[in-house]
Amino acid sequence: MTPLAQGSLSVPPIDYAAVAPLLIVLGAACVAVLVEAFLPRHQRWPAQVVLSVVAIGGAGIALGLYAGGGPDGITTIADALAVDRPTLFLWGTLLALGLASVLLIADRSVEPGGAILASAATRAAAGGGSGGLPELPEDRSYGTPGLAPTMQTEVFPFTLFALGGMMTFVAANDLLTMFIALEVLSLPLYLMCGLARRRRLLSQEAAVKYFLLGAFASAFFLYGLALIYGYAGSVRFTEIATAAVGSQHSDALLLGGLALLVVGLMFKGSVGPFHTWTPDVYQGAPTPVTAFMAACTKVAAFGGIVRVLHVAFGDTRWEWRGVLWAIAIVSMAIGAVLGLTQTDIKRMIAYSSVAHAGFLLLGAIAITDAACRARCSTCWRTASPPSRCSA
């Protein structure tokens, strides 16, 4: 007899106050989809802007209330999410950057009609003729009734879904939840990259390249997840850490899975030499979307890196620390040297972000090292640390 027939299944407890910021953002994303479906075109832009700003502001208020009076650190939704002080800090950072990004996306004054086009097959209303499209007369109607709308609003639910995926990514307490969050944050970004009003062919090329880059990241991450599960028998970070310390089996699966996980996270964080096509994506995407990716995606990626290395693999730091030091140095060198050779400002910013990714990686290493030092001072006093941390 199945557990369902026996009546033994129960709903896992959920701390709604702890996950309220995440639920508000994802709930607003679902409402934004309904707004696109049911409101007339000329009413969508103000409705979407107000909904997005109110949702992010409400999530920020819920976050502040919980951070001021909630417990120091909990796990909820069957231990799938960990809401602790680092998570609250990263959520606050993502919400602040997300609000600024929404305001940039909603702007219609710098570029008449906004920077976003409805689909890759739609002609831009404002002239330019780039990408093989004929130059059309400029349209400043801004979606008034009876005239062709120029501000497309499909990007707002994409932004909220991506922001919700990033918030889930940094709070994930197991590799499977982290992988799902990785897909939730990535899929909207693929679409957003291809919606530039100017330089249409570059924008479509950026979307395809970012999709391929994200596919590589997801493939490496998922393969590493499978190897880690084969080693530890679980995808939960705490159980992986326990298996890494106490298991007497061969470390081949552990180290192979860790290497693939790190490569997948490096792709998502655009850390050199895993930054392939990142400058092309930044150049071709709409400028507000480039700003959103450069800021929020970096925060999410490095928040995930710190959580994986600190919680799941913190007691095996000497087995990956040197490799990450080398990757960080290479990333800083690539970004600094190649950035000087660029003539396009967005490509220069892209290489600057690659260099800064190296500095962020050094910060992730330092945080994990400090945590290991606090757990196991013996490892830091001996000249030849043991193969497993004794903490």
Q: What is the pLDDT of residue 54?
A: 95
pLDDT at residue number 21: 94
Query: Is residue 126 within 8 Å of residue 150, measured between CB atoms?
Result: yes
Q: What is the pLDDT of residue 150?
A: 54
126-135, 190-199, 329-338: least confident range? 126-135
Alpha-carbon distance values, 248 to 137, 239, 243, 311 (Å): 72, 15, 9, 20
Report the C-alpha gap between 174 and 176 in whole angstroms: 6
Per residue in 194-226, pLDDT tens?
887 777 778 888 889 999 888 888 999 999 999
Nearest Cα to 40, choosing from 149, 138, 125? 149
Predicted confidence at residue 134, as pLDDT, reads 45
Measured CA to CA, the distance from residue 81 to residue 79 in angstroms comes to 6
Residue 184 has a pLDDT of: 93
Query: Cα–chain-centroid distance for residue 213?
Result: 14
**How confident is the prediction for the chain on average, in pLDDT?**
79
Is 126 a residue whose pLDDT tops 70? no
Q: What is the pLDDT of residues 281-313, one digit of tens each?
A: 888 888 888 889 888 888 998 888 888 888 877
CA distances to 90, 154, 155, 215, 353 from 159, in Å: 17, 9, 6, 20, 21
- Residue 303: CB atoms within 10 A of its CB come to 25
